[in-house]
Structure 1
């Protein structure tokens, strides 16, 4: 595992922490043994080989001695650089995007998840065709006796990939329509949606299981959760909510995955409340939180959507630092410190969620025609009806509701 430490990145994050995350990514793949890892200082990136010629030769000798078959580079590697390095080292090479795609391909279980991964992989592979076909003169003949040179092999491969992309996108459109129908049906159900988001391995699934009693896979592993899971939960106030566990985010998330998993993350866009779970014991917890905020903004999550920031894994922090974190969280609005593993702080979190939905309410008198029976039923199910009388034209209803309930009613 190689982590290129580019001069431009040194002010943003420690290279050693980046390398540790990359090794954890590699460990998430089965049947893959990491025999060595190293931070490689790169003063000036070489366009053809990424590293300087001396470093390339040095690494070649070390790979040969260790009998390495696969080299992982934790960073972007251009198709030309990948081709040249594979040729120089005599190994297969995967960059950060390729590694994450491999993990996602291994973990996806639902039909939608598999298609999302396949779509992202095809987009990635299309840019890598230069690696397979370095001689563009390889051509297929044209039609007839006077046909032109025909299409090059690389053009044929690109066309085949484009055809597959179109096919998968059409299938995904059907899935998206189905999900939209499910969401529309859920809007008619008077249960708010709460979405768990956060950096990968922040403990979202452990917290999800602790809150709902579910048995979602929760491991100390990056990207243990890929396919979203939803469960019902009754808060101490008696209010019922729907809570959703989502795929974890990561720094430098491949653009192909941001686009491809947009449908999977649409639950976050629909959420009435977002729980941002942070691994507060991680040395770069603040940087991870910034990455999550950046991705949420890229997905189009509204800034007005209420959020609670959860400082998780308090059980891994000891002594004065732990006490300081607890006091700091107590002094800030919208921040909770807890341990999903031990359950410490969970009752306070559930109370905070309850309070988030106990918003200021306003009164309104509404006249609804008899033809709006579904809206009428929704208002009663939502529990906002104070009084009701029937007239010749319909129902006259006195309501008391929150601004969010009013908005949901308008969108009904």
Structure 2
């Protein structure tokens, strides 16, 4: 579900005093991002301070004054851990004494986690590339400036004398917001999913349809699980069984393939390993071309487009049927879907970029509403942008 990152994950399990509190309510504001189907993230617990419906498991948000953490010379801030455990109260907290928002992914392994409401949080699971599986819970938190968030209680076994022996992994970094959230490429593209495997429980587009399986969009633009920062903002997630056909959304050239990983699940470390296919389907149209700006042409199987380059990425795949440098035609099967990487359940994470730079922000693209197998140019179509909670075929949303 995530765009490439480069920072290493480290455990930060230092003791930091957090007061024992009662369950609390949060000021009612509009939700930051809600374009996500929560059932698609088993074991993942998301919290935003401005959510109109704060989770009952959350202990408390605590505003802090950074000046209280100044050193004696009033120039340097005392070291405050990003992730802290109070061993007396057995609370897990996130600490932000900086003036920027921070995004925190924190995974707690193999111990019971209890919310402020006294209810144990239901864990998910993760499996590494060696096939070792673990029970775990992952918190996804957008931490405002100068705030501590006391998340939950840890049921620490009596035999644990050193909290650093607890297996807790985290990635905490400044929130990289998208520089142009409304950026949209003008090219309309085909649908990225084809036929499901024969063993799948297929949901048809309608009771009378025998041709088109439909796919639930589980996370859309700005989705609160992983689609709220620059490298993922416009991504779309489709729930699909492992082995679903992946289709080229346009003519293009394969520029990158990764399909040697097998890890899966919700561990924060999975944000750094995945399988994917990347296609270049557009290049910049020559401004000196004698053709009108509205006329686009193909060069080396890549469309020259007046709106510039376009790259599309299929993430969490199981297997690729193409190699770097291959040319593909729209509708060709290029691989099969999977659940590799940070993936709570089998799905396709589909995103588009104006550049192949790993740090490039996403760009919005619309699906053209055509079904490759019909190939009927006279059939009316309506471009569409999937949103979480609705099912889609190549032709658009279905009831």
Q: Aligning the two structures, in what range does the TM-score lie when normalised by the shorter sequence?
A: under 0.3
Larger Rg: 1
TM-score (norm 2): 0.23
Choose between structure 1 and 2 for higher RCO, CA contacts under 8 A separated by at least 6 residues.
2
TM-score, with length taken from structure 1: 0.23
